[in-house]
Amino acid sequence: MPAGSESPLEHRNRAPLPFVDEVLARVRDTLGVLGFSVDVRLDPDRDRMVDCVRGALEDDGGSPLVLHVVSHGEIGFDDTRLDVVPACGRTGLGTNVAEWVSAAQQRDHPVLLLLDLCRSGRITRLPWLLRRTGQDTRTWVIAAAGPDEDAFDGRFSRAVADVLDRLAIDGLGVDPSTPYVPLEVVTRRITERVTAYGGLPQRVHATPARPGAAGR
């Protein structure tokens, strides 16, 4: 998984994220064990990040897609907007995660976004996505923090890796006859792991998997 030649993930007053290499490697390895083909992009600038996401979403490939992002999150005046800050620090067209979710919904196969970003919970509350919850939903989000909360130290990504490790071993205790592990179970286990790490409060949020289901 080649690393880019751009500057480290640091811009203006945003602190560098020294844990990124570690948590990306852990999530990469666990997804690989589960049978996913994994492509890691480390410290991309805006153009590379946007191209990578566009390519992943447009290449349906006949299989589900998991998109895991670790970075700083930047919010604007629109409560439904959350920008992923690339290595160059330039946000704008193509960096808004809400746009990614909209594009993902056009795919024939499911997409799960794992967002280790500050304030990422707002993406689980996109009004149009909540209205579509049900049989025609193609896209789900599990987010590291609430709409107005920070995410800390890669805690969410570590929890994701822990849970995926366990999923590969015992299916998280779900009946083996069940065709897939429910999203609610995965979210609950990630939440439990994040809580167990301790530290400053950080609440995992997720899009509801069923009509009328709670999203947290």
Q: What is the CATH number of the domain that holds 99?
A: 3.40.50.1460
Note whether residue 8 is domain-resident. Answer: no
Note whether residue 12 is domain-resident. Answer: no
Note whether residue 113 is domain-resident. Answer: yes
Q: Which of 36-40, 59-63, 156-160 has the lowest mean pLDDT?
A: 59-63
pLDDT at 35 over 90: yes
Provide mean pLDDT across the span 90-111.
Answer: 94
pLDDT at 10 over 90: no
Residue 105 Cα distances to 65, 92, 108, 125, 133, angstroms: 12, 21, 8, 15, 11
Note the pTM of the prediction, 2 decimals.
0.89
Task: Write down the residue that tokens 């509801």 correspond to.
Answer: 208
Q: What is the pLDDT of residue 4?
A: 33
Q: What is the pLDDT of residue 135?
A: 66
Note whether residue 99 is domain-resident. Answer: yes
Q: Which domain holds residue 160?
A: 20-206
86's tokens: 């690339």
- Count of the separate structural domains present in the chain: 1
Q: What is the pLDDT of residue 210?
A: 63
Residue 91's pLDDT band (cuts 50, 70, 90) = very high
d(CA 39, CA 34): 14
Note whether residue 13 is domain-resident. Answer: no
Beta bridge partners of residue 143, listed in sequence order: 115, 205
By DSSP bridging, strand 65-70 and strand 73-75 are unpaired
pLDDT at 51 over 70: yes
Note whether residue 14 is domain-resident. Answer: no
Provide mean pLDDT across the span 23-36.
Answer: 95
Note whether residue 102 is domain-resident. Answer: yes
Note whether residue 160 is domain-resident. Answer: yes
